[in-house]
Amino acid sequence: MRPTDPSSEAQVVIVGAGAAGLSAGAALKREGIDPILLEKDHRIGESWARRYERLQLHTVRRFSGLAHHPIPRTYPRYVPKDMFATYLQEYVEVFQLRVELNRPVQTVRPHSDGLWETVVDEAERVLSPVVVIATGRYNEPILPSWPGMERFAGRVVHSSRYASGRGFAGQAVLVVGIGNSGAEIAADLVEQGASRVAIAVRTPPPIMPRDLFGTVPVQLLGIALTPIPAPRLLDRAGAAMRRVAIGDLRKYGLDKAKWGPFTARRPAVIDVGFLEKLKGLELTVRPDVERLTTRGAVFSDGSEEEFDAVVAATGFDSGLARLLDVPDAVSDAGRPRFRSGRPTSHLGLYFIGFDETVRGVLFEANRDSKRLARSIRRYLHG
């Protein structure tokens, strides 16, 4: 894990040594290619280790392992975050991957003679015929600047800095955003003794139990149904299934879902305790936040409520627009314009780990990394 020279060369550079980057690295080694992985964190699995305490994978162990090395069967069905971080560390050792830690990449751009230049800092660059971007979609926290935020007397924290509800015991807390993190944090706050919990929802999502009817992992349905080329039909069937499995949530303040997982190509919110708290009237649903006040929040319907703290589960930016000095490679939404694991219109540039579907991002990363490795081998040996 020694750093590269100030101006060095490599066959393949992978930017990011999270799960997708590691899977790509192992798949490349199986193809006889030894990549260098540049990772900004100080240890493997750190992005998982620093997440909130109760986090587990929402996908089953069998379909959450990386390329050519499954998660051990001794791990539970739904792997806790710290155990998954340990698996990633073991994965590096199994494949003897060349991971360079504490190496935040500043810029990736085309160089001369068909090479790519990966700039680590002003004095260091790595030249390579291939560069793989594996920094992920959840790279930089997005914290809204609500009107009145500077006057709010309580705490405002992004979900990326939330560890446990213990520090909010006895407090009235508003969670903003109802993705997986927002729903799970809201449930955790109730369990850890917050005096009152509300969740502000702008766009109601589809919510599915992690295990449908208590037995069938919902991920298996996603894997089985994805090949069917009828996303709208599948979403209608999914809505009917949700009505049977979880009932009508409108009487608890949560409107019908405004999007479908198959048409949107993104997973539903996976329930791991939120619905129990919602139906038990232990937390309440509020409209989108319009502004903060000294003592609380005003919502889009004009109602006002006092809170001691706000947890913003308001998502992340990929940071790709700042990282990539490559015309037309990144959309206005900050996502790659190309599918993960496939060649792009910029020869030698690839992405991995950016496709999030109902089958699970780790499932996709495993499959995409093998396809990526074959594509890179063909490109290098052209």
Over residues 279-332, the pLDDT tens digits come to 999 999 999 999 999 999 999 999 999 999 999 999 999 999 999 999 999 999
Residue 1 located in a structural domain: no
Residue 162 located in a structural domain: yes
Q: What is the reported pLDDT for 49?
A: 94
Please tell me whether residues 161 and 234 are part of one structural domain: yes
- The mean pLDDT value of the chain amounts to 95
Which of the listed residues 266, 296, 312 is the one where a domain comes to its end? Answer: 312
Q: Is the pLDDT of residue 1 over 50?
A: no
8 pLDDT band (50/70/90 cuts)? confident
Q: What is the reported pLDDT for 7?
A: 60
Burial class from Cβ neighbours inside 10 Å (0-12, 13-18, 19+) for residue 82 reads middle
123 pLDDT band (50/70/90 cuts)? confident
Please tell me whether residues 71 and 162 are part of one structural domain: no
Mean pLDDT value of segment 98-124: 93
Mean pLDDT value of segment 144-159: 97
Note the pLDDT tens digit of each residue in 88-98: 999 999 999 99
Strands 130-133 and 12-15: parallel
Q: What is the reported pLDDT for 6?
A: 56
Q: Is the dihedral of CA 30, 31, 32, 36 positive or negative?
A: negative
Residue 337 located in a structural domain: yes
Rounded Cα–Cα distance for residues 267 and 325 (Å): 30
Residue 2 located in a structural domain: no
Task: Look up the CATH number of the domain holding residue 36.
Answer: 3.50.50.60
Please tell me whether residues 158 and 102 are part of one structural domain: no
Please tell me whether residues 149 and 232 are part of one structural domain: yes
Q: What is the reported pLDDT for 213?
A: 83
Please tell me whether residues 12 and 129 are part of one structural domain: yes
Mean pLDDT value of segment 94-120: 96
Q: What is the reported pLDDT for 4?
A: 45
Q: What is the reported pLDDT for 292?
A: 98
Total domains in the fold of the chain: 2
User: What does the CA dihedral 296, 300, 301, 306 come to, rounded to 10 degrees?
Assistant: -10
Rounded Cα–Cα distance for residues 374 and 362 (Å): 19
Own/partner pairs, 286-291, CB within 8 angstroms, 24+ separation:
286/174, 286/198, 286/199, 286/200, 286/201, 286/253, 287/200, 287/201, 287/202, 288/200, 288/201, 288/202, 289/144, 289/146, 289/174, 289/176, 289/200, 290/146, 290/147, 291/146, 291/147, 291/148
Residue 135 located in a structural domain: yes
Please tell me whether residues 55 and 24 are part of one structural domain: yes
Q: What percent of the chain has pLDDT over 70?
A: 98
Please tell me whether residues 164 and 228 are part of one structural domain: yes
Please tell me whether residues 333 and 203 are part of one structural domain: no
Structural tokens at position 353: 């780990």
Please tell me whether residues 181 and 292 are part of one structural domain: yes
What 3-state class would DSSP assign to 18?
coil
**333 compared with 89, residue with greater pLDDT:** 89
Q: Is the dihedral of CA 92, 89, 136, 205 positive or negative?
A: positive
Please tell me whether residues 230 and 251 are part of one structural domain: yes
Supply the pTM of this predicted model: 0.94
The CA-based angle 61-63-69, given to 5 degrees, is: 80
Rounded Cα–Cα distance for residues 197 and 365 (Å): 35
Residue 373 parent element (H or E): helix 361-380
What 3-state class would DSSP assign to 352?
coil
Residue 294 located in a structural domain: yes
Residue 24 located in a structural domain: yes
Structural tokens at position 80: 């806790």
Q: How many CB atoms lie within 10 A of CB 157?
A: 18
User: Where does residue 271 fall: left (phi above 0), alpha (psi -120 to 50 degrees), or beta otherwise?
Assistant: beta
Residue 105 located in a structural domain: yes
Residue 160 parent element (H or E): none
Which of the listed residues 312, 335, 353 is the one where a domain comes to its end? Answer: 312
Which of the listed residues 312, 340, 369 is the one where a domain comes to its end? Answer: 312
Please tell me whether residues 266 and 330 are part of one structural domain: no
Rounded Cα–Cα distance for residues 338 and 92 (Å): 27
Q: Is the dihedral of CA 239, 240, 244, 247 positive or negative?
A: positive
Q: What is the reported pLDDT for 122?
A: 73
356 pLDDT band (50/70/90 cuts)? confident
Instruction: Give me the domain span that covers residue 27.
Output: 7-139+318-380
Please tell me whether residues 131 and 148 are part of one structural domain: no
